[in-house]
Amino acid sequence: MKQHEQIIILVAALNHVMQGIPPAEIKGFKYGLISYIEQQAPYIIRKIETGEFNEEIKEDIVRLAREYPSQVRDGGDE
């Protein structure tokens, strides 16, 4: 797993975004979330890779992680 992928998952987990996801669906959720953020907010990946991770980027990850399930449910990009 790449560094930006690890950070995205860690931030989502530490902010309890995955709390309502059934255990059997966590793996799929994680990879779908990474793909969603890579598509919707590539600047996040660039910031992480260049060491510019800050509170604003963290908040963006949490926001996108919280909106991701509804995008999947509503037939969004994923």
Q: Taking the mean position of all CA atoms in its chain, how far away is CA 3?
A: 13
End-to-end CA distance of the chain: 20
pLDDT band at residue 74 using 50, 70 and 90 as cut-offs: low
Query: What is the Cα–Cα distance from 53 to 39, expressed in whole angstroms?
Result: 18
Query: What is the Cα–Cα distance from 22 to 25, expressed in whole angstroms?
Result: 5
Cβ-based neighbour number of residue 57 at 10 Å:
19
| pLDDT tens readout for residues 43-73 | 999 999 999 999 999 999 999 999 998 887 6
Where exactly are the structural domains of the chain?
3-73
| pLDDT tens readout for residues 11-29 | 999 999 999 899 999 999 9
Cβ-based neighbour number of residue 12 at 10 Å:
22
**pTM assigned to the model:** 0.87
